[in-house]
């Protein structure tokens, strides 16, 4: 499988709450994140193409809200959920300056 991402993802487990228009709010964790997207781990993934509002808890920053569209999903049968987690990838469409600053700080610490 080829990696189509423009920016590499960082493995990060962050608290996230998300909701689609007219949908109920759900809580989960991220599996990885980048400036351009994130992976949300959950047993019942959102559908591709769905627009979401996500509240992500960033260490040292607090909660920030980003908007995005579900790019892909990974469904896992119930009997395998103890072994691997399902979830969905989100392409970030709109984010506050704190979101980009978080990744800029992480990049400067790594170099």
CATH number of domain containing 98? 2.40.10.220
Q: Does the residue 1 lie in any domain?
A: no
pLDDT value at 21 more than 70 = yes
Tell me the two tokens of residue 64: 């920030």
Do residues 32 and 38 make contact, with C-beta atoms less than 8 angstroms apart? yes
Domains held by the chain: number:
1
In a domain, 31, yes or no: yes
Q: Given a cut of 70, is residue 17 above it in pLDDT?
A: yes
User: Residue 67 falls within a domain, yes or no?
Assistant: yes
pLDDT tens-digit series, residues 52-105: 999 999 998 999 999 999 999 998 777 666 666 789 999 999 999 999 999 888
pLDDT at 25 over 90: yes
| DSSP string for 26-55 | EEEEEEEE-SSEEEEE-SSPPPTT-EEEEE
Structure confidence at residue 82 (pLDDT) = 65
Whether 29 maps to a domain, the answer reads yes
Q: What was the pLDDT predicted at 81?
A: 63
5 is a domain residue: no
Range of the domain at 101: 10-110
Predicted local confidence at residue 2, as pLDDT: 46
């Amino acid at each position: 499988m080829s990696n189509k991402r423009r920016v590499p993802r960082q493995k990060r487990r962050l608290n996230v709450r998300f909701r689609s228009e007219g949908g109920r709010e759900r809580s989960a964790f991220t599996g990885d994140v980048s400036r351009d997207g994130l992976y949300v781990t959950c047993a019942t993934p959102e559908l591709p193409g769905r627009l979401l509002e996500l509240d992500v808890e960033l260490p040292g920053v607090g909660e920030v809200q980003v908007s995005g569209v579900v790019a892909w999903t990974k469904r896992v049968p119930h009997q395998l959920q103890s072994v691997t987690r399902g979830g969905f990838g989100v392409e970030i469409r709109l984010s506050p300056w704190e979101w980009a600053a978080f990744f800029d700080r992480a990049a400067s610490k790594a170099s």
